Amino acid sequence: MNDNRTKNLVSPVIFAAFGAMMVFIAYLLVRAFSGAGIFEPGKMSVPLLALLVLFFGGVWCTILFIGYQLRKIARDE
């Protein structure tokens, strides 16, 4: 067995990716609500938007959970 313990570089990458995606989605939402079109018929409705945000929010929260598990693995906790 090898005894060289290393710093966990994977979890920070996952946390950073989560942060970047959240910022990107928030930026898109701000743009959507500050511009015209979102409430117009035939354009994207608010419930559909909420569904999209909830779905991808759920996906990225799972990824965040995996990042947390990897952190625990690296610390053997």
Interacting residues toward other proteins by CB under 8 A: 1-2, 4-10, 14, 17, 21, 24-25, 28-29, 31-32, 35, 37-38, 43-44, 49, 52, 55-56, 58-60, 62-63, 65-66, 69-70, 72-77
Chain length of the chain: 77
CA nearest 18: which of 8, 10, 30?
Answer: 10
Closer to other proteins by CB, 1 or 47: give it.
Answer: 1
In angstroms, what is the minimal distance from the CB of 47 to other proteins?
13
CB 22 within 8 A of CB 60: yes
